[in-house]
Amino acid sequence: MAVQLGKRYKDETTGIELLVIKPGNCDLQVSGRPMELMQPKVLPSAD
């Protein structure tokens, strides 16, 4: 799997979050479970 620069990945069981600072091919796992890509939070507009 290719991780992307600036993206966050999370393990739901342990609550561990990672911020990718160097992209590339990597298999992100915690205790054998793959980490999932977090979706960005939608912020309200500042009108």
- Report if pTM > 0.85: no
- Residue 3 CB neighbours (<10 A): 17
- The residue-averaged pLDDT of 12-39 equals 92
DSSP reduced 3-state for 4:
coil
Q: Which of 22, 23, 19 is nearest to 40 (CA)?
A: 19
Q: What is the pLDDT of residue 33?
A: 93
Structural domain boundaries of the chain?
Answer: 2-37
What whole-number percentage of the chain has pLDDT above 90?
66
The answer, yes or no, to whether residue 26 has pLDDT greater than 90, is no
Give the integer Cα–Cα distance in Å for 37 and 30. Answer: 14
